[in-house]
Amino acid sequence: EAQVTQNPRYLITVTGKKLTVTCSQNMNHEYMSWYRQDPGLGLRQIYYSMNVEVTDKGDVPEGYKVSRKEKRNFPLILESPSPNQTSLYFCASGRDSRTEAFFGQGTRLTVV
């Protein structure tokens, strides 16, 4: 089954404790991206990757890192999480940047 898998689905952590949210897709997509969704602000792009070893900043990259060492994986790293990073995070992939995106089920992160 074609899918984008994120883990964990739910996470509560403390300020400053490094964490990684994993994202994996099995569709051989070149394009992957991360979004956060906050009430009233909609989905905002954090980082995206056009292909392996190619990443770029989206609209809200501060406080986040990503890597794309393999085509299927695109982890999101929060080196020192802060409460303003409490949000619902979605990973997405697509054949390329022009076509539709397939989303993971989301990760609800709470930073206390």
Footprint on this chain of other proteins (rule: CB under 8 A): 31, 33, 35, 40-45, 48, 50, 56, 58, 88, 90, 97-106
Residue 56's alpha-carbon distances to 17, 33, 42, 45, 82, in angstroms, are 24, 9, 20, 11, 22
Which is closer to other proteins, CB of 15 or CB of 51? 51
Least distance to other proteins, CB of residue 16, Å: 28
Least distance to other proteins, CB of residue 41, Å: 7
Which is closer to other proteins, CB of 40 or CB of 112? 40
Residue 63, burial from CB neighbour count under 10 angstroms (0-12, 13-18, 19+): middle
Which is closer to other proteins, CB of 42 or CB of 62? 42
What secondary structure letter does DSSP report for 73? B
Residue 71, burial from CB neighbour count under 10 angstroms (0-12, 13-18, 19+): middle
Q: Pairing mode, if any, of strands 107-111 and 102-103? A: unpaired
Least distance to other proteins, CB of residue 24, Å: 15
Least distance to other proteins, CB of residue 18, Å: 25
Which is closer to other proteins, CB of 38 or CB of 79? 38
